[in-house]
Structure 1
């Protein structure tokens, strides 16, 4: 379970509504918190500027939530949806570290963060553990239990020894040391409560903290007490208490139960792609991606009340993604087996909050949405496509109602004017009175004809107690600005031909030693031609050689592996090729360690200005960054290190697109992108006249960008205009896209095979494998 460090309280400031009548919620899997405010500050507040209560959270820094409601129902699966940089990860962290008043300290909350492996390199003990040991230790906190058993056992053994090393006070000292350590942990919790709470509950928390501080002082004094001052009856009683506590802890560490946990851990690691040899490796020998999988395995194994997963699919291949969504669905059912540690009874399934930019994964793994928009949280029961469809349908319905009502209002106003004119002309008081009554209706009783439930509006029922009689106007919620990425028109090639051609390409890493058989081929006789307008998708599991194939395709000199062992790679002499690598975000972050001119931190604008070398004016650079979602001061004033992963992806794309390429080679470009940006890029790639070679584990993105699928894009931020017709940008072609080929290949065992059924065929093959791997 992620612990709260000292900096996190100052970095994330939280306040919410509290009541003096505190009612403890018996379900640790449920939250109902109102008036929630979360602000991220640049650093800890100073004594001179330190504010209290709600003002503290709004005084400085970036406001994430303002007067929001956080409501979680036990055992439900939620997807937290929001644009890059809106604070989704911050909200998860505030929940995990229990910074929000109202989250019980007894609740077991486990979080997988995007950067969970950041501190592993500094933890020598973690690096020495095997993957299996690390997963079990993180999930069950077995080390803490084993350390307590070890401390008590050592003290009791010293007390019961028959030789010269007999220590009659060994068990007593071990027991008092254990009490002291537990009180220190409790002290940390109460200290945090006292700092986070205010008013009557804050006073109560500070009283509890003061009382515990006295208890800790007494425990410290007791632990350091001289042997001569300990009475014989106290020695006997505490020695027996130590023996009883040791027996209780040993029951909790029952080998059979731990063996069951170990078996389940092995099953989860297998589902996430670990072989037996990899599970036996030391954690320190793993790459960052495999460390993230280790952290994910620990999260899935944990016996949590609330499980928080932040981008769990970032380092998974498509097999791992399909396995994970099936696992989460199966794990949401009531547990009938005892999978918990510590001798506790079986626990119900956890409440899940998931952040992911993989639309297919989110739609399959969750059944509720939490939408982070305009510093507020709104809730929807259903998946993302149904939400977008309902929003589009509701907006369209309101438009029709308003249009009809506007026409009716214009007709009534025309009738009123005519009746008043003719009434005054003919001295007809009846017509004048009728016109005034209709005008009063327009002024006082015009608006919605139905209430929130769809029933006909009744004044005495729907507006009871109001001193006025004016109904609410029909208000159409503002439609979110649809992000639109415009890919630059590629220059003319002047003469036809393949952009890139691979013929009989073979590649292997290294050379076999003398007397040993040759090393296996990473790529074996690969033939691939890329023409203008082609859409080529490459799928396969991790380690299949996709990135190797891409590096050969683009001639990536930085890898020193750009030449095939056999075969040939030829390119069009006038080809402009842009390559987005898997590590593009990390590469930009590394650039930020090198300051710009004069030691000023690099920004997106200064980085791109340096790249273009005067070939574009500043206004053109700003326009390009703005189209990709980095407008104004975000591009010019925000250092690269402060941009989110998705914003750094946009910056990397800008570095490619200004060159006006004829071929885009994209290797996992959607890893950090939010839904709006992924949708905009998907739409732009589908209609762009250049060639696209795409490697991705995102099934939804692959189906749209490569296969041209559009029927699953509805609502705000999608390709659909709400009437079922796709937006046409005038480029023509099949379904608004280019006239090139649309091909999906699978790379397996070095062989590149065309999938006639496309992404769907590959997914069906993976689901068959998942059925064999999924063992709960």
Structure 2
């Protein structure tokens, strides 16, 4: 069975095994699909036509995501989908959301937040005119559609029961038949999709269902258009009563108490995600920026009454307060709005949905989920527990396997030596017994050498653990050689030749806008900020969205920095105070919009050949580095071989574009890295490798990030028990910081109301403050 989306840049092809038990399962919050295969093929260029012989070529150009995998979700569980960038996590959850996987019933309510949301560019004019609160409620409940049905039935019933000249006895009947016709048309669309997307036995069944429904739709159309004189009196009476009953049923769903409860929950969710009450009630969706649109979409997904909730990178546009709130909300489940009532608007509270979460924020994933789904090697592996527990278990397993393998290798070498000696002596002395004994031992080495324990940890027995005469060999011990998947080495910075601060802010004040006569001046975005950055320093800056962190960074780097992103931003200067920079400083600045800037370069590319990571970097270096040097740098960052030279930028994932942006910075060998939200889109393995590299790099680092785990490791030099190299360092305990080896000072500042304040307790102190605020939000 094959499914494909045709109206997208990439076509998703899906096939799987299916049984009647899975098809008929009444629990829409569970999935159990075996033999799942998913591939993505690029859509042909505009103007090209597919030939009959093109199927083989299409298969060759398809990227296989899953092969013979098992997708298993249990009702009410919270899963984190983990995998490297480009492995297909977003493709998998999109296939689930669009019900392309055979076996997912159409009745299942699935809500999804995607990394790239169409709301805004692809939204209709009516949606853009709605306020944020109205849009969230509409997307979560289809309120407008329900009210339209009520209005249609109400007009018909009122006209049929009127006592004046406007009385139309057939109005209620026609309204009911029109409603039936419209609902059948929607159902027809679903069945038509099923018939086109499925093949084989289930495809035949879907086409039969479609044919039957087409007949029903034709009958409903004829009934709706039937002349009044042809309608029997008993049918008129029965259908008029049915219209009244249906209207009463729909009106129950729009009772003021229920709608008030939904609106209260929507307001609570929007507040938790950073919307003010005035913004939610008055701001039109069409006037929102991309980040706020994504928050609106996230609020609608959380408010929806879904069986399965799919969240793809929900923390990308949230500050640390929003991240902490979201993890508490997901843990609270159906009680997330803060209410302790067992009913919602007179109805019982539904059990929490099954959650599948894609996020590279390790602290968030570990707190919000209790199961892992690992997408690797085109398969899905499952683990009960959080990410640190999984890594600890993997490390222990590797250590155990290495120990067993070393012991068996020594034993095998000893046996091999004994066999050879017995064979020599047996042939020399014509001792058949010794020769036979040596051959038996050789057979054991060849056929029955490997793991001594089964999957349950018991002693291995061939007739129990490998039944069947054809299975004679045990599994060989495969001990992985490396604990970490990636290792990044940052280039050594050149000497400055003379000492001094790399960057310095002295009594800097800044405000946006122009002071007009007889009006209050705009508030200070930055107010008397002082900051010094020396070689080896680690400076972290935390704060909520809108606090002015990016403004502070832009003032700090000026216009002479080597930047990734920020291409459309004009240079800003301090309103008061001075900004100084070391005259020999090489500064690399990673801006928040680095990925968008690279995508814009790709879209504006006028060359015939598509722009790739290698060609973009070649253009940047202008002959200062060889192609071999550039390939080595890109490979070090996770863009090796043909991925760097042959894959167009538009085909790269967000995490791969982050690596490309980092390569554009690092080839210059900077002495100071200023990173503004660099972990957005990065998978956890790359984040781990970058975190470790920043911790030991001798240059200076200024980091703005909402990723608590990354900030602790890169700035405060926190070392995980499993993560590996490095040592725990003491965090700073004063304004001057503590000199700690080559890393220099380790300071975390909080920016709030224009003031930059040193946090003695570092990231943990900031997180504790946010925890208190979140408790108040959830209790309100």
Q: TM-score, normalised by structure 2?
A: 0.91
- Partner of residue 499 from structure 1, selected from 498, 502, 505: 502
The alpha carbon displacement at 1:424 in A equals 4.7
Equivalent residue number for residue 384 of structure 1: 387
Which residue number corresponds to residue 15 of structure 2? 15
Segment of structure 1 superposing worse, 631-640 or 564-573: 631-640
Separation in structure 1 between the aligned mates of residue 168 and residue 322 of structure 2, nearest angstrom: 55
Quote the residue 2:719 is aligned against: 710
Cα deviation per residue 1:164-221 (whole Å; 9 max; x = unaligned)?
Answer: 4443332222211111111011112212222333333222221111000111111122
- For residues 469 and 244 of structure 1, the distance between their equivalents in structure 2, rounded to whole angstroms, comes to 70
Equivalent residue number for residue 609 of structure 1: 618
Residues of 2 paired with 1:528 and 1:736: CA distance? 19
C-alpha separation between the residues in 2 aligned to 1:576 and 1:234?
85
Distance 1:333 1:603 in 2: 48
- The answer as to whether partners of 1:101 and 1:196 remain within 8 angstroms in 2 is no
Q: 1:26-48: CA deviations, max 9, x gaps?
A: 21110000011111122389472
Contact 1:117–1:291 (Cα < 8 Å) also in 2: no
Task: Tell me how large the CA RMSD over aligned residues is.
Answer: 2.7
CA contact (8 A) 1:184 1:216 kept: yes
1:124 is aligned to 125
Aligned mate of 2:296, from 290, 294, 297: 294
Structure 1 position 544 matched with structure 2 position 547 = yes
Cα distance, 1:447–1:739 mapped onto 2, change above 3 Å: closer
SS of 1:511's partner is coil
3-state secondary structure, aligned to 2:42:
coil
Question: Contact 2:33 / 2:70 at 8 angstroms: preserved in 1?
Answer: yes
2:701 aligns to what?
692
| Bigger Cα displacement from structure 2, 326-335 vs 79-88 | 326-335
Q: Is the 8 A contact 1:94 1:100 kept in 2?
A: yes
With over 3 angstroms needed to count, the CA separation of the structure-2 counterparts of 1:502 and 1:188, relative to structure 1, is same
Query: Could you tell me how far apart the structure 1 residues matched to 2:307 and 2:241 are?
Result: 35
Contact 1:534 1:742 in 2 (8 A): yes
User: Equivalent residue for 1:678?
Assistant: 687
Q: Is the 8 A contact 1:708 1:737 kept in 2?
A: no
Which of 340, 353, 357 is matched with 1:354 structurally?
357
Conserved? CA contact 1:75–1:350, under 8 Å: yes
Determine the structure 1 residue equivalent to 2:478: 475
2:41 matches 1:41: yes
In structure 1, C-alpha distance between the alignment counterparts of 2:402 and 2:434, rounded to whole Å: 33
1:480 is displaced (CA, Å) by 7.7
Q: Indicate yes or no: 2:585 matched with 1:575.
A: yes
Shift of 1:467: 4.8
Structure 1 contact 20–201 (Cα < 8 Å) conserved? no
In structure 1, the partner of 2:627 is 618
Distance 1:21 1:545, change over 3 A: closer
Q: Give SS of 2:7's match.
A: helix
User: Cα deviation per residue 1:287-330 (whole Å; 9 max; x = unaligned)?
Assistant: 11111111111111111110000000000000110111111111
Report the Cα distance in structure 2 between the residues aligned to 1:278 and 1:708, rounded to whole angstroms. 39
Structure 2 unaligned regions, length at least 5? 561-567, 730-737
CA distance in 1, matches of 2:348, 2:767: 38
Is the 2:23–2:105 contact (alpha carbons within 8 Å) kept by the matching residues of 1? no
Q: Distance in 2 between matches of 1:478 and 1:529?
A: 43
- 2:528 alignment counterpart: 525
Q: Is the CA contact (8 Å cut-off) linking 1:687 and 1:737 kept in structure 2?
A: no
- How far apart are 1:623 and its partner, in Å? 2.0
CA distance in 2, matches of 1:488, 1:177: 70
- Residue 632 of structure 1: which of 616, 624, 641 is its match? 641
Q: Structure 1 residues 118 and 86, CA, compared in 2 at 3 Å: closer, same or farther?
A: farther
Q: Give the equivalent residue in structure 1 for 2:564.
A: none
> Which of 385, 397, 400 pairs up with 1:394?
397
- The answer on whether the counterparts of 1:340 and 1:347 sit within 8 Å (CA) in structure 2 is no
Describe the shift of the 1:160–1:5 C-alpha distance in structure 2 as closer, same or farther (beyond 3 A).
Answer: farther
In structure 1, the residue matched to 2:250 is 249
Partner of 1:83: 84
Equivalent residue in structure 1 for 2:449, among 436, 446, 449: 446
Partner SS state of residue 742, structure 2: coil
Query: 1:89 & 1:421 partners in 2: Cα distance?
Result: 62
* CA 359–131 in structure 1, closer or farther in 2 if over 3 Å, else same: same
Q: Distance in 1 between the 2:578 and 2:396 partners? A: 54
Residues 24 and 333 of structure 1, relative CA distance in 2, 3 Å threshold = farther
Structure 1's 358 and 528: CA in aligned 2 closer, same or farther, altered over 3 A?
same
Q: Which moved more, 1:328-337 or 1:502-511?
A: 328-337
Report the CA distance shift for 1:444/1:643 in structure 2 as closer, same or farther (over 3 A): closer
**Any conservation in 1 of the 2:374–2:381 contact (CA below 8 Å)?**
yes
- Pick closer, same or farther for the CA change 1:440–1:91 going to 2, 3 Å: closer
Shift of 1:606: 2.0
Of the three residues 749, 752, 756, the one matched with 1:752 is 756
Q: Distance in 1 between matches of 2:353 and 2:751?
A: 37
SS at 1:515 equivalent: coil
* Cα separation, partners in 2 of 1:611 and 1:150, compared to 1, 3 Å: same
Mapped partners of 2:207, 2:65: distance in 1: 28
Determine if contact 2:717/2:728 at 8 Å carries over to the other structure.
Answer: no
User: Greater CA deviation, 463-472 or 375-384?
Assistant: 463-472
Matched, 1:738 2:742: yes
Per the alignment, residue 140 of structure 2 pairs with: 139
Distance (whole Å) between structure 1 residues aligned to residue 739 and residue 57 of structure 2: 54
Matched residues in 2 for 1:736 and 1:624: separation? Answer: 29
Please tell me whether the aligned partners of residues 80 and 370 of structure 1 are also in contact (alpha carbons under 8 angstroms): yes
1:322 partnered with 2:311: no
Classify the secondary structure of the residue corresponding to 2:611. coil
- Displacement of 1:579 in angstroms is 0.8
Paired position in structure 1 for 2:333 = 331
2:767 corresponds to 1:763: yes
Query: What's the CA shift string for 1:47-85, capped at 9, x where partnerless?
Result: 72576xxx9995652111111110001100001111111
Any conservation in 2 of the 1:39–1:62 contact (CA below 8 Å)? Answer: yes
What 5-or-longer segments of structure 1 have no aligned partner?
727-733
* 3-state SS in 1 of match to 2:701: strand
**Deviation at residue 446 of structure 1 after TM alignment:** 2.6
1:312 corresponding residue in structure 2: 314
Residue in 2 that maps onto 1:191 = 192
2:718–2:728 Cα contact (<8 Å) kept: no
On the 8 A contact 2:313/2:359 being kept in 1, the answer is yes
Residue aligned with 1:738, SS: helix
1:511 is matched with 514
Is the deviation greater in 319-328 or in 439-448? 439-448
- Of 564-573 and 636-645, more deviation after overlay is shown by 636-645
Question: What secondary structure does 2:743 align onto?
Answer: coil
The reply to whether residue 161 of structure 1 matches residue 162 of structure 2 is yes
Deviation digits for residues 417-441 of structure 1, max 9, x if unmatched? Answer: 3334444555555544543443343
Matched-pair contact (CA < 8 Å) for 1:136–1:142: yes
SS of the aligned residue for 2:767 comes to helix
Residue-pair matches, total: 755
- State the Cα distance separating 1:601 from its structure 2 match: 2.8
1:163 to 1:737, Cα distance in 2 relative to 1, 3 A: farther
- Conserved? CA contact 1:260–1:339, under 8 Å: no
Aligned pair in 2 of structure 1 residues 424, 658: CA closer, same or farther (>3 Å)? Answer: closer
Residue pair 1:385, 1:712 contacting (<8 A) in 2 also = no
Cα deviation 1:542-575 (Å, max 9, x = unaligned): 1111011001001148644521111111111111
Is 2:575 the counterpart of 1:565? yes
Rate the CA distance shift 1:251–1:151 in 2: closer, same or farther, 3 A: same
With structure 1 as the length reference, what TM-score do the two structures score?
Answer: 0.92
Change (3 A) 1:757 1:325: same
Deviation string 1:502-559 (CA, Å, 9 cap, x unpaired) is 0101111113432233322111111000011111000001111101100100114864
